[in-house]
Amino acid sequence: MDFNWSEADLAFRDEVRAFLDEKLTPEIRRAGRLMTSVYPDHEASMAWQAILHERGWAAPHWPVEHGGCKWSLTQHYIFSRECTLAGAPVLSPMGIRMVAPAIVAYGTPEQKDYFLPRILTGEVFFCQGYSEPEAGSDLASLSMAAVEDGEDLICTGSKIWTTHATEANWIFCLVRTSRTGKKQEGITFLLIDMTTPGIEIRPLVMSSGEEVQNQVFFDNVRVPKANVLGKIDEGWTVAKYLLVHERGGAMSPMLQVMAQELTEAAASQTAPDGGRLIDYPAFAARLADARIRTEVLEVLEHRTLSLMAQGKNPGPSSSMLKILSTELSQQLTELALEAAGPQGWAYQPHATAPGGPIANYTPPADGYHSGAPWQAVAPLRYFNDRAGSIYAGSNEIQRNILAKAALGL
Instruction: Give the DSSP per-residue string, 41-81.
Output: -HHHHHHHHHHHHHHT-SSTTS-GGGT-----HHHHHHHHH
Residue 119 lies in a domain: no
274 φ/ψ sector (left φ>0, alpha ψ -120 to 50, else beta): left
Pairwise CA distance, residues 229 & 110, whole Å: 11
Are 202 and 254 found together in one domain? no
- CATH number of the domain encompassing residue 230: 2.40.110.10
> Which among 167, 171, 172 is positioned nearest to 203, based on CA atoms?
167
> Which among 9, 2, 3 is positioned nearest to 71, based on CA atoms?
9
Are 188 and 301 found together in one domain? no
| Cα angle: 65, vertex 71, 74; to 5 degrees | 150
Are 256 and 200 found together in one domain? no
Residue 112 lies in a domain: no
Pairwise CA distance, residues 300 & 293, whole Å: 10
Are 230 and 153 found together in one domain? yes
Residue 108 lies in a domain: no
Are 233 and 258 found together in one domain? no
pLDDT of residue 347: 92
Residue 115 lies in a domain: no
| Cα angle: 390, vertex 94, 383; to 5 degrees | 35
pLDDT of residue 248: 52
Are 189 and 261 found together in one domain? no
pLDDT of residue 1: 47
Are 254 and 395 found together in one domain? yes
Are 85 and 144 found together in one domain? no
pLDDT of residue 51: 98
Do residues 92 and 164 lie in contact, with contact meaning Cβ atoms separated by under 8 Å? yes
Are 189 and 172 found together in one domain? yes
Are 83 and 57 found together in one domain? yes
Are 259 and 356 found together in one domain? yes
For 87-149, where are the alpha helices, taking DSSP H only? 93, 100-106, 109-121
Q: Tell me the pLDDT of the chain (409 aa) as tens digits.
A: 455 788 999 999 999 999 999 999 999 999 999 999 888 899 999 999 999 999 999 999 899 999 999 998 788 888 988 998 899 999 998 999 999 999 999 999 999 999 999 999 999 999 999 999 988 777 888 999 999 999 999 999 999 999 999 999 999 999 999 988 888 899 999 999 999 999 999 999 988 899 999 999 999 999 999 999 999 999 999 998 887 655 555 788 889 888 998 999 888 877 667 778 889 899 999 999 999 999 999 888 888 777 766 666 667 787 888 899 999 999 999 999 999 988 888 899 999 999 889 999 999 999 999 888 999 999 999 998 988 888 777 888 889 988 988 888 8
Taking the model in full, what pTM does it have? 0.87
> Residue 349 sits in which domain range?
249-405
Q: Which of 189, 221, 243 is the last residue of a domain?
A: 243
Are 254 and 234 found together in one domain? no
Residue 237 lies in a domain: yes
Q: Which of 221, 243, 265 is the last residue of a domain?
A: 243
| Burial class of residue 274 (count of CB atoms within 10 Å of its CB; 0-12, 13-18, 19+) | exposed
pLDDT of residue 375: 92
Q: How many Cβ atoms are within 10 Å of 286's Cβ, its own excluded?
A: 16
Domain tally, the chain: 3
